[in-house]
Structures are given as C-alpha cells and as structure tokens.
Amino acid sequence: MEEYKKEVFLTTSNILLTSSQFFLRNFEVLKKNTMNHFLSLLCIFLLMLKSIASFSQTVKGTSQEVNTTTPKNIVLLIGDGMGLSQISAGFFYGDQPSNFERFPVVGLLKTSASSDLITDSAASGTAYASGIKTYNGAIGMTKDTVAVKTIVELVSESDMSTGLIATSSITHATPASFYAHVASRRSYEEIATFLPHSDVDFFAGGGLKFFSERSDGRDLISELEQQGFELSTQSLPKQPSEKKQAILLAEDALPTMLEGRGNFLPEATQLALDHLSENTNGFFLMVEGSQIDWGGHANDADYLIAEQLDFDTTIGVVLAYMIENPDTLLIVTADHETGGFTLATDTGDYNKIKPSFSTTGHSASLIPIFAKGPGANLFGGIYENTGVFHKIMDLLENR
C-alpha cells in the first residue's frame, strides 16, 4: 500500500508540474496576443487542474473500497498434525505448485499445553479458539475447567457469520474447541449438544451418530431443525441455503482420500464461502484438514500425503476467493506435528525421497503459520499459539 501511495503522489506531482510549466512557457503569449488567446490558455490550465482533482478523487475512492489493514472476513485453515515436512511433501508429491508458495508472511508457533510440553488437538484448538493455554483434553475450558468464550461466540456478538468444516466428526477436538465447553474431548455426545444452540451458521463434516443415535435418546437432529438449520446427510449441497446449514455426511469421520472422499473439503469450503458471504458484516470460517494427523499416527505416508495434497487444494479455493474479496484475511497453520515425519534419503540416494516417521504420537516441533490479506503482517515471527487468537481479535476490534 505504501508503494501505491508513492505512485499516486508522484503521478499527481508530475501532472501539477507539467501544468505549471505549460502555463509559464506560454505566459509571454498572454502579453502579446488577444484576450481570446489568454482565455484559451486559462481554460487549458484549469482543465489540467480538474484532471488532478478527478484523479485524486479516484484514488481516494479506491483506497476506501479495499481496506488494506483491517479484514472484513477471516478464514483460519488448520492442518491437523501438519508440520514442516508434511507441508514440504506437497512440493514433491503434488502435480501442481504448492499453494503454500503464495503467502507473503510466514512465522512459527510454540504449541505446548499448560499440562504438557507436547500438546494435543484439544488444548491447541482451545488456544486458537479462545487465546488461552489449557490442559490436554480440554475443550473450551481453562486449566481450572472454567468455560471460556470462543472466537465464534465473540465475533457473533458483532453480527459476523461463522462456519466450521472438518473431515473428521464435527465433534472432534479441533472443531469442537470453537463452539463447545467440556472437560474432556472424548465426551462426543455432550459436545454435540452445544452445536444446535451455538452461534455457528454453517458446519460440515461427519459425526451424524452423535446427533441421532445417542445413549440418552435425545434427538439433536430435530433440535438443529428447530433452531433454523437446513440439514443435509446424503451429499454436499450444490448451492448455499438461505437458512443456516448443517451438513453431516458420515456416522463418524468422513472417508479418507485414499478411500474415495473426493473433493469434499475444497467443495465444502467453497460452499461455506458462498453461504457466509451473504452477511455484509463479514464472517469467520475455520476449516480443518483433520486426517493429515491420522496418517501421521498410523505412520502411513501415502495416507498422510494424500490428505496433505487435499488440504493444499483447499488453500487454493480460499486464495481464489480472495481475488474478488481482497478484504479477506487467510491464516494457515496446524495444531501440532504428528509422527515425527521426515522426508529422508532412500538408502543414501540423494535423488530419492523416503518418507519416514519417528513416533506414532505428536512431536514438540515448532509449527509454521502462513498469512495473506489485510493484517497479515501481524502473523510473522515466533510466538505462542495463543497469539493467533489475540492478533485476530485485535484486528477485528479496529474494524
């Protein structure tokens, strides 16, 4: 933006200088010729000044149309279990250039939980959703098991729309952290009870059984419909609904990419963007590539890489949306790294890569964060994962 302002200043100055030089060069004509000549020159000079004013107004209008420092919309993409090697895999195994190359701002996050050096998805999800450190397993709770407001609840107070997408159950740790408040991430049925009465306007993922086949007999499907949701359980709708949208396409987690999940994640993200864009006050959308993590836990490189490439494609969907909606901030990060994943040499051959793992659990590696759009410059550097929440809220407070 600063470069743009310099261009405007130089262009305006050049027009003014040219106009002045023209008038001074022809000043002698004023003394030698008739009043008609004088008036003609004066008119030309005034027209030049009018052009300057018109140009300045156009520039002013342009700067008002696109706010380059404060976002209207915020999209947070979380690759569960995605460390630097997982991201790097997309560069070597993808058919297209990785969308991660398109980000101007990159940083690193420290992810330890309050209870452990190595975080789980619940504590990390709560850090992103509520800006606090908590114990592993906590969903929307402090380390003393006190409920804490989530970003979904906070931005809804400003009449922004909100959406959540996952390839796991929608009651799994990361998405749950944005709308529920429970002491244990394994309390899936309890987590599900928060969603019909939450501030979420759009959600898509798996987990139908936690709403319809419950041990307590409670019918959360009816509650969703009573709260104004249009429910889809067979396939992803082609068009956004005028109602709130609830999309539950599997009893628990969605199939893996290798099992034929197809384009669910990028297409659900596009649908969410179309749905949430109807709100002129803006929106917050969280999208999780849930199963990158599961490929890491299984030490299955093919599984992990397929999920990583699907996540990369989804990033491209949001970047394409931002071309027509430049007031959107995109943040891409992970909750933690899983598997101690490495792109190693294959028996010492430096022209062959052999994906390898050092654990079936999580690791303590710093996590990359990428940002593009209004306010992206705030997300560079090395800082705690809780800082992501606070940076987002600072940007929204300045709207």
User: Which region among 26-40, 100-114, 172-186 has the lowest average model confidence (pLDDT)?
Assistant: 26-40
- pTM score of the predicted model: 0.84
Give the span between the Cα atoms of 117 and 106, in whole angstroms.
23
Report which of residues 29 and 88 the model is more confident about. 88
Report which of residues 52 and 389 the model is more confident about. 389
User: Active-site positions?
Assistant: 121
Tell me the average pLDDT across 343-366: 97
Q: Which tens digit of pLDDT belongs to each residue from 213-249?
A: 999 999 999 999 999 999 999 999 999 999 999 999 9
Phi, psi of 195 (to 5 degrees): -70, -45
* Whole-number pLDDT of residue 3: 41
* Whole-number pLDDT of residue 59: 40
* Whole-number pLDDT of residue 123: 98
pLDDT at 56 over 80: no
* Whole-number pLDDT of residue 39: 52
* Whole-number pLDDT of residue 25: 55
How many CB atoms are located within 10 Å of the residue 69 CB?
A: 12
* Whole-number pLDDT of residue 244: 98
Q: Which tens digit of pLDDT belongs to each residue from 131-187?
A: 999 999 999 999 999 999 999 999 999 999 999 999 999 999 999 999 999 999 999
3-state secondary structure 240-255: CCCCEEEEECCCCCCC
pLDDT-based confidence at 395, cuts 50/70/90? very high
pLDDT at 88 over 60: yes
* Whole-number pLDDT of residue 2: 45
pLDDT at 42 over 60: no
- What are 384's strand-pairing partners? 110
Q: Which tens digit of pLDDT belongs to each residue from 252-268?
A: 999 999 999 999 999 99
* Whole-number pLDDT of residue 398: 84
Closest-CA residue to 247 (of 258, 263, 236, 260): 236
Report which of residues 234 and 22 the model is more confident about. 234
Contact yes or no for 81/336 (Cβ under 8 A):
yes
* Whole-number pLDDT of residue 20: 52
Q: How far is CA 237 from CA 140, 183, 188, 266, 308, in A?
A: 30, 34, 25, 13, 24
What percentage of the chain has pLDDT greater than the value 90? 82
Burial bucket for residue 226 (CB in 10 Å: 0-12, 13-18, 19+): exposed
pLDDT at 48 over 60: no
Give the span between the Cα atoms of 67 and 395, in whole angstroms.
12
Q: Which tens digit of pLDDT belongs to each residue from 273-330?
A: 999 999 999 999 999 999 999 999 999 999 999 999 999 999 999 999 999 999 999 9
* Whole-number pLDDT of residue 399: 81
